[in-house]
Structure 1
Amino acid sequence: MAYRQIRIDGDEVLRKKSRQVEKIDEKILTLIEDMADTMYKADGVGLAAPQIGILKRVVTIDVGEGLIGMINPVILEQRGEQDGPEGCLSLPGTTGDVKRPMYVKAKYTNPAGETVIVEAEELFARCICHELDHLDGVLYKDRAHKMYTQDELDNMKQ
């Protein structure tokens, strides 16, 4: 188990485009394990490699159905629309409303080197879009049509 430091908004690495993974080796497998450990420790549902300072096209996601490690993921199809709140481990204490597709079909390579096509809806679809944005240097606040202050969030909870 290794926990990596999560980069916070303002760190220039979060705005850079990640590179394709050319070979799945021990370094990539360790990266995925460390990302999963870091994501779970931080109570997140997704983490992209740039969030721990690694400019590789790798994400981990767990929306309650088990860990998924995605290498070189791409969205093949999207449809519908959902509008709702998002947060981010790299933007602690912030929340914003973001429009995302209700459905996405994505293709990626899993840690075993197999090509996988996954269909996702609702939170899973939102999470895929959010994490893949990180791979291109895009943060959710760039897409948010409303950002909430801490006071507004506190009032919503009451």
Structure 2
Amino acid sequence: MAVREIRVFGDPVLRRVCDTITKIDDGLRQHVTDLLDTVAFDGRAGLASTQIGHNVRAFSLHIDGKVSYILNPELEVFGEPVPTGEGCLSVPDLWFQVQRYPKARVTGIDLNGNKVVIAGEGLLAQALQHECDHLDGKLYIQRLDAAQRKQAMKQIRESAWF
């Protein structure tokens, strides 16, 4: 089991746009194992590559007791955005309302190069959007309005982990 340290707000890797995966090799296979091992704890819904210090388009999910992953996800969203309570492993102990679409789908590949589609609503839709944001170098607090973002930054500065 290879549980990796989760990078937190302030780490520059979290702001990087991830590279498309062009080669599936042993290094990538180990990275996916690390993603799966690190996300497989209660209270963790998803984990993107940047959160464990890598810059490739991959993330893992842990929804309804099922652990999965996807490489090179392309996101589609459906419906009208609604306020959704959200937190992030990379911004511990904060929780804010973020506008998220009620349904989402990602299309990508697995480690064998086979097409993978993950689609859903509720927590799954939220996690798909949240993790794709990470792969684009965005944290959920960047989606907050100015007043909420100011409050979040104050809480971050006052936190024990910052």
Verify same fold: TM over 0.5: yes
* Contact 2:105-2:128 within 8 A present in 1 as well: no
1:91 aligns with 2:91: yes
1:153 paired residue number? none
3-state secondary structure, aligned to 1:111: coil
Unaligned runs of 5+ in 1: 151-158
* Contact 2:45-2:127 within 8 A present in 1 as well: yes
Unaligned runs of 5+ in 2: 156-162
* Contact 1:103-1:119 within 8 A present in 2 as well: yes
The correspondence of residues 109-148 of structure 1 with structure 2, limited to 5 A, is: 109-145=109-145, 146=148
Deviations 1:59-87 (A, max 9, x none): 00121151221100011343233312111
* Contact 1:103-1:121 within 8 A present in 2 as well: yes
Aligned residues: 150
1:35 aligns with 2:29: no
3-state secondary structure, aligned to 2:66: coil
Name whichever of 87-96 and 102-111 sits farther off: 102-111
1:154 paired residue number? none
Return the offset for 1:144: 2.4
Name whichever of 76-85 and 60-69 sits farther off: 76-85
* Contact 1:82-1:122 within 8 A present in 2 as well: no
2:21 paired residue number? 21
| In structure 1, distance between residues paired with 2:42 and 2:11 | 18
Return the offset for 1:97: 0.6
Q: 1:93 to 1:36 in 2, by over 3 A?
A: same
Give the TM-score of the pair, scaled to structure 2: 0.84
CA RMSD of aligned residues (A): 1.9
Q: Which runs of 4+ in 1 moved over 3 A?
A: 145-150
3-state secondary structure, aligned to 2:37: helix
- Identity among equivalent positions (%) equals 33
| In structure 1, distance between residues paired with 2:49 and 2:81 | 27
Letter in 1 for 2:85: P
| In structure 2, distance between residues paired with 1:112 and 1:67 | 17
Give the TM-score of the pair, scaled to structure 1: 0.86
3-state secondary structure, aligned to 2:92: coil
3-state secondary structure, aligned to 1:67: strand
The correspondence of residues 1-16 of structure 1 with structure 2, limited to 5 A, is: 1-16=1-16
3-state secondary structure, aligned to 2:132: helix
